[in-house]
């Protein structure tokens, strides 16, 4: 009797935990294990390190690995260099337009990498906007700056992409440094420099380091930027190399070995980031937080000059590539002399579908939309169930489940895609619709973000609401529908919008899995860049921007929750 009631009580919970865990097992852990096993086992199925060793002792792969780490290191330094002044300004000053400035710094967060790359090529390229302007200015025939297709371009793009992370994390920590502590140090006879090094820096350093670890991780895993702006054996990273091995050389053995090495490294970096984040001095605010001063006090003297320079640089970096993409989408080449004209040609072709461009673009838009919706449906289900389970009190194995659930964040989409390729090779049936695989991969990428946005709301639902509903006669099922669901709505909507935007902009898993039929917008843009149809790529980019920002505006309208 007692055992029976206990089982009945546990059963719904088992189902709730079981469904998402089985999904995770089937579409993340099993494929991943199979590709790692492929890199670890010989023909007879015995465990061997010979493939790993072969890859590690290969000069070429050594070069790829060291370049990957080297570019990530330089990119991180550059992103910190760009972000730290912004963090100082945003945490110490109030000024008109502060909201706009901090809004601008979130732009790179929501932009798909392929768009950033496109904007960079068009803005910093040899015949790009910047060079066009400089050539006119100096009266030269040749491009003034040549940065594309080199390490410089990669670092520039990574810096652009990641400096907002630095601003966000460091500004939060810097703003928390107590003004009283600084004043106290002052009264104890410490000069400004001494106060900074003995009071401020020790408190913000963990924030800076954890931002650095996160940026390093992103640059380590960066794909689209390297694929387009890098190239050639010298400027290749691990991700691009795995992609090339899987898709071009069809060498899954080396790809598997590299994937294992790459995953170990990325998980180590992720662990380092988590560790550093836990050391960040947060929450405890003794006395008053440093007060924001009006920025007018900053504008005097040489400081003002640097401030002006900084804001100009940020606007140049963030705004110009995006605007360039939008402008160029209304341009096309015409006639013998390749004259550039303005018009709606690309958009017209898109809707008339009587050209190769039109049909490809239309198919890409349709696929991207379908993938996005599938990802939303799946990741919302999985993410909400996990959020519910992880927020349960007295959860057994909570740490274990938590780690298992968050691990996909540390495995690159390329490796995830590669593992799917390995699995479908082993399946007896042929999968014709790669878009299903792409949607599954996108779900694995997106659901941790759904968990985060749903959990944020979940934790704010007081237990007393649930108790109140129960005393008022509502059964657990009724409570779920009448209390939990309506209250979770903002979190669900935010999660859905996030999942959609992530899926729509994601190229890495998509490109490794896609065939001709399952082309998505980012892949189409990548191909158009390859065939020098920049203007057409821009038009498609604008549609991607509209789709993604549409999703985010939708959140804002609904009054979603931002963490």
Partner 1 sequence: MNLNLQNIKKQLGDFHLQLNLSVSKGELLTFLGPSGCGKTTALRIIAGLLQPDAGEIYLEGKPITHVPVYLRNIGMVFQDNALFPHMSVEGNIGYGPRSRGWKKIQIKNRVGELLDLVGLSGYEKRKIESLSGGEQQRVALARALAAEPSLVLLDEPLSSLDAALRKRMRKEIRRIQQALSLTVVFVTHDQDEAFAVSDRIAVIKDGRLVQIGSPEELYEHPANEWLGSFVGTANKIPCTVVSEDEKRYQIDSRIGPFTVSKSGVKTEFRSGEKAVLFFRPQHVEILERRKDKEASPWILKGIEYYGKYQRLELESEGITIIAEKSNTDKILPGTELFCRTDPDNIILMTY
Interface residue list for partner 1 (CB under 8 A): 462, 464-465, 467-475, 478, 482-483, 486-487
Phi-psi region of 253 (alpha: psi -120 to 50; beta: other; left: phi over 0): alpha
Q: Kindly tell me which of 59 and 471 has the beta carbon lying closer to partner 1.
A: 471
**What span, in angstroms and rounded, lies between the C-alpha atoms of 157 and 405?**
31
**Could you write out the three-class secondary structure of 255-281?**
HHHHHHHHHHHHHHHHHHHHHHHHHCC
Q: Kindly tell me which of 50 and 459 has the beta carbon lying closer to partner 1.
A: 459
Q: Give bridge partners of residue 47 from the DSSP assignment.
A: 41
Which are the contacts of 372, defined by CB distance < 8 A and separation ≥ 6?
442, 499, 500, 503, 504, 547
Q: Kindly tell me which of 187 and 471 has the beta carbon lying closer to partner 1.
A: 471
CA distances from 89 to 93, 457, 475 (A): 6, 30, 52
Tell me how far, at minimum, the Cβ of 384 lies from partner 1, in Å: 17
**What span, in angstroms and rounded, lies between the C-alpha atoms of 165 and 223?**
18
Tell me how far, at minimum, the Cβ of 481 lies from partner 1, in Å: 11
**What span, in angstroms and rounded, lies between the C-alpha atoms of 65 and 135?**
38
Query: Phi/psi at 518 (nearest 5 deg)?
Result: -95, 25
3-state secondary structure of 518: coil
Tell me how far, at minimum, the Cβ of 487 lies from partner 1, in Å: 6
Q: Kindly tell me which of 206 and 490 has the beta carbon lying closer to partner 1.
A: 490
Tell me how far, at minimum, the Cβ of 464 lies from partner 1, in Å: 4
Q: Give bridge partners of residue 332 from the DSSP assignment.
A: 341
Q: Kindly tell me which of 431 and 472 has the beta carbon lying closer to partner 1.
A: 472
Query: Phi/psi at 191 (nearest 5 deg)?
Result: -75, 175
Which are the contacts of 341, defined by CB distance < 8 A and separation ≥ 6?
331, 332, 333, 334
Tell me how far, at minimum, the Cβ of 16 lies from partner 1, in Å: 19
Q: For helices 534-558 and 521-530, give the axis angle rounded to 10 degrees.
A: 160
The number of beta carbons lying within 10 Å of the beta carbon of residue 28 is 23
Q: Can you give the C-alpha Rg of the chain in angstroms?
A: 26
In the numeric block, which tokens belong to residue 546? 């509209």
Q: Kindly tell me which of 184 and 558 has the beta carbon lying closer to partner 1.
A: 558
């Amino acid at each position: 009797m007692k055992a029976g009631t206990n089982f009945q009580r546990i059963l719904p919970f088992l189902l709730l935990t079981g469904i998402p865990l089985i999904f995770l097992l089937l579409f993340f852990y099993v494929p991943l294990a199979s590709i790692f096993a492929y890199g670890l086992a010989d023909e007879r199925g015995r465990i061997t390190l010979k493939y790993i060793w072969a890859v590690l002792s290969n000069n070429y792969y050594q070069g790829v690995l060291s370049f990957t780490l080297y570019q990530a290191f330089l990119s991180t330094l550059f992103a910190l260099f760009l972000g730290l002044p912004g963090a100082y300004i945003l945490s110490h000053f109030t000024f008109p337009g502060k909201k706009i400035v901090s809004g601008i710094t979130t732009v790179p967060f929501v932009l798909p990498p392929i768009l950033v790359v496109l904007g960079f090529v068009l803005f910093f390229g040899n015949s790009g906007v910047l060079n066009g302007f400089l050539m006119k200015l100096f009266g030269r025939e040749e491009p003034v700056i040549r940065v594309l297709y080199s390490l410089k371009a990669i670092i520039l793009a990574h810096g652009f992409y990641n400096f907002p992370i630095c601003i966000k994390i460091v500004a939060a920590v810097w703003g928390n440094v107590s003004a009283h502590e600084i004043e106290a140090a002052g009264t104890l006879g410490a000069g400004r420099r001494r106060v900074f090094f003995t009071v401020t820096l020790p408190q913000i350093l963990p924030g800076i380091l954890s931002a650095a670890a996160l940026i390093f991780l992103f640059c380590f895993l960066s794909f689209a930027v390297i694929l387009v702006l890098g190239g050639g054996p010298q400027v290749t990273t691990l991700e691009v190399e795995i992609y090339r091995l899987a898709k071009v050389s069809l060498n899954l053995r080396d790809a598997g070995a590299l994937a294992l090495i790459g995953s170990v490294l990325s998980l180590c970096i992720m662990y380092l980031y988590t560790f550093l984040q836990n050391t960040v001095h947060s929450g405890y605010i003794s006395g008053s937080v440093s007060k924001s001063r009006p920025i007018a006090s900053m504008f005097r003297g040489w400081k003002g000059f640097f401030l002006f320079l900084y804001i100009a640089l940020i606007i140049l970096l963030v705004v110009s590539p995006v605007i360039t993409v939008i402008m160029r989408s209304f341009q096309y080449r015409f006639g013998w002399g390749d004259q550039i004209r303005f018009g709606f040609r690309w958009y017209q072709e898109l809707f008339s579908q009587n050209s190769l461009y039109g049909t490809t673009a239309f198919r890409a838009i349709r696929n991207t939309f379908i993938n996005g919706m599938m990802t939303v449906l799946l990741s919302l289900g999985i993410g909400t169930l996990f959020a519910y389970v992880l927020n349960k009190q007295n959860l057994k194995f909570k740490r274990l489940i938590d780690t298992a659930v968050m691990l996909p964040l540390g495995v690159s989409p390329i490796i995830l895609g590669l593992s799917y390729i390995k699995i479908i090779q082993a399946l007896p049936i042929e999968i014709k619709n790669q878009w299903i695989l792409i949607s599954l991969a996108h779900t694995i990428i997106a659901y941790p973000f759904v968990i985060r946005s749903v959990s944020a709301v979940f934790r704010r639902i007081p237990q007393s609401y649930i108790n109140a509903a129960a005393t008022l006669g509502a059964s657990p099922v009724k409570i779920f529908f009448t209390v939990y669901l309506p209250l979770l709505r903002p979190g669900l909507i935010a999660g859905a919008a996030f999942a959609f935007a992530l899926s729509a902009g994601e190229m890495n898993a998509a490109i490794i899995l896609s065939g001709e039929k399952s082309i998505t917008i980012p892949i189409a843009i990548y191909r158009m860049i390859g065939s020098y149809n920049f203007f057409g790529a821009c038009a498609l980019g604008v549609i991607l921007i509209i789709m993604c920002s549409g999703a985010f505006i939708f959140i804002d309208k609904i009054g979603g929750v931002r963490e």
